[in-house]
């Protein structure tokens, strides 16, 4: 298994004192944290698109990525080789999962039939490699945004044929995901939105998107796919406004179209910040609705206002993410999926290892910190105490829905005014959080 990265060994845990950049300092897969091993908690996943097919171009310049195994063609044979490369990489890294779009793994053909056949030809290799290595598919998805046919959207296109094409593409991608034992299937509405309202019937587009997903749910049942369906919120890029703009908007959409029982959310850090939220906010919203499924782990750059999809290295951020995940009881089918890419200047194959090792270590530290915070219990206690005035008879009755305005007036009138407010203690809590970092 050393055909494509001959100089890189299997990445081992070297411990915090290791000076070897190709070792984990914190991610120790079999180490138990609380009730599970790190490997079970974190369920790391490598994405095909950024790691194996992204040429590292930007709007100002061509791709820089050095990928010696790639013959530069769009052939199925090249895609099959790339699949072997991907598995050698993931195996050496020791990540248990991967994720892909149909068009990352196999080239689009001259027509849909040829595209289906290309996908089957590469999926055969993916299956072989999954069996050889034990690496599993976290989720599959269909790319409904790169091809020019999707310029006006896919499920929200004003062109009915495009809607039909997208449906056929998703149908096939679901079949392949199912066949590969995928634990989930993701819908990211890459161009499901608008560039201008002057040409857009928003209500009609949303109804179409609702129908599209209802048909996906029907097809899931029909083929017996047991994996989780995810919606991935993102407010903009490539369009100016995307309908799945944030967790709250997605939940509202899912409820409106009776889809909530069938979907969970796949939250991405950089999308949260593009929406003007912290990742922690998005996680709280999803957890509150019992709808947090998986996360696309990355980070943006505060000085660059777009989706830079960088590898997460900020321990404060990963600790917050892991607090949310532990709070909800951990992943079921989801995982920490590195939807992240190396910088254009980091163009050598070994940079792919450095990037993932750093992300995995940052999350391992986040896990340990979050676990320690929960063990200690001071945050939970503070929050419980902050709401303790609700624990009286009338407060309980209001929460249960058994009280009226008149009851509240009768309660407060004799008091004359509300009881004094306690301090929010934000700074004290921020200091406490830092004690764990």
The footprint of Ni ion (CB under 5 A) covers 268, 296, 307, 339
Catalytic residue among 26, 41, 50, 101: 101
Q: What minimum distance in Å lies between the beta carbon of 238 and Ni ion?
A: 11
Rounded to whole angstroms, the maximal C-alpha distance in the chain is 82
Please say which residue, 150 or 188, places its beta carbon nearer to ligand XLS: 188
CB of 111 to ligand XLS, least distance (A): 23
- Determine contact, residues 238/190, Cβ cutoff 8 Å: yes
Q: Closer to Ni ion by CB, 50 or 82: give it.
A: 50
User: Least distance in Å: CB of 377 to ligand XLS?
Assistant: 35
**In whole angstroms, what is the distance from residue 372 CA to residue 360 CA?**
18
Nearer to Ni ion, 183 or 339 (CB): 339
Nearest CA to 174 among 122, 137, 127, 219? 219
**Residue 242, both tokens:** 């995307």
- Dihedral pair phi/psi, residue 145, rounded to 5°: -145, -25
Of the candidates 26, 41, 104, 271, the residue annotated as catalytic is: 104
| Beta strand residue intervals within 189-306, DSSP E | 193-194, 228-232, 241-242, 263-268, 292-296
Q: If we measure between CA atoms, which residue out of 214, 223, 218, 114 comes closest to residue 176? A: 223
Cα–Cα distance between 245 and 251 in angstroms, integer?
10
Minimum CB distance to ligand XLS, residue 26 (Å): 25
> Rounded to 5 degrees, what angle do the CA atoms 162, 169, 125 make?
150
Active site residue 101: yes
Active site residue 104: yes
Contact footprint for ligand XLS (CB under 6 A)? 101, 141, 186, 188, 232, 234, 268, 296, 307, 339
Give 45 or 320: the residue with its C-beta nearer to Ni ion: 45
The span from the CA of 98 to the CA of 139, in Å, is: 7
Q: Which CB, 92 or 334, lies closer to ligand XLS? A: 334
CA-based R_g, the chain, Å: 24
What does the DSSP 8-state code read for residue 29?
Answer: T
Q: Which residues are catalytic?
A: 101, 104
């Amino acid at each position: 298994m050393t055909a494509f990265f001959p100089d890189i060994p299997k990445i081992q845990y070297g411990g915090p004192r290791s000076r070897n950049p190709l070792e984990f300092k914190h991610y120790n897969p079999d180490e138990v944290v609380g009730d599970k091993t790190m490997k079970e908690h974190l369920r790391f996943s490598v994405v095909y698109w950024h790691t194996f097919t992204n040429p590292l171009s930007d709007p100002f310049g061509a791709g820089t990525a050095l990928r010696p195994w790639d013959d530069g063609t769009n052939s199925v044979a090249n895609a099959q080789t790339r699949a072997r490369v991907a598995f050698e990489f993931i195996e050496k890294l020791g990540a248990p999962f991967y994720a892909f779009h149909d068009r990352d793994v196999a080239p689009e053909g001259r027509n849909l039939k040829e595209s289906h056949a290309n996908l089957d030809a590469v999926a055969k290799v993916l299956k072989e490699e999954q069996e050889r290595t034990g690496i599993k598919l976290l989720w599959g998805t269909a790319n409904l945004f790169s091809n020019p046919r999707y310029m006006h959207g896919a499920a929200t296109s004003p062109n009915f044929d495009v809607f039909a094409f997208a449906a056929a593409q998703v149908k096939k991608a679901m079949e392949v995901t199912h066949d590969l034992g995928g634990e989930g299937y993701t819908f990211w509405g890459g161009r499901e939105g608008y560039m201008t309202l002057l040409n857009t019937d928003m209500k009609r587009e949303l109804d179409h998107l609702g129908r599209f997903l209802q048909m996906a749910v029907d097809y899931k049942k029909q083929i017996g796919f047991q994996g989780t369906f995810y919606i991935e919120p993102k407010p903009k890029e490539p369009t100016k406004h995307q309908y799945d703009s944030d967790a709250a908007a997605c939940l509202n959409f899912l409820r409106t179209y009776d889809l909530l029982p069938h979907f969970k959310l796949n939250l991405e850090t950089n999308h949260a910040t593009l929406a003007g939220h912290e990742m922690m906010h998005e996680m709280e919203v999803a957890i509150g609705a019992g709808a947090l499924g998986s996360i696309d782990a990355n980070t943006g750059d505060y000085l660059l206002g777009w989706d830079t999809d960088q590898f997460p290295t900020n321990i404060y951020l990963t600790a917050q993410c892991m607090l949310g995940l532990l709070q909800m009881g951990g992943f079921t089918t989801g995982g920490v999926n590195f939807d992240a890419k190396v910088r254009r200047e980091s163009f050598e194959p070994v940079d792919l290892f450095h990037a993932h090792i750093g992300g995995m270590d940052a999350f391992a530290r986040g896990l340990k910190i979050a676990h320690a915070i929960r063990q200690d219990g001071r945050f939970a206690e503070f929050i419980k105490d902050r709401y303790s005035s609700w624990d009286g008879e009338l407060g309980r009755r209001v929460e249960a829905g058994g009280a009226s305005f008149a009851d509240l007036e009768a309660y407060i009138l004799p008091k004359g005014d509300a009881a004094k407010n306690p301090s929010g203690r934000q700074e004290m809590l921020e200091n406490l959080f830092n004690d764990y970092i």
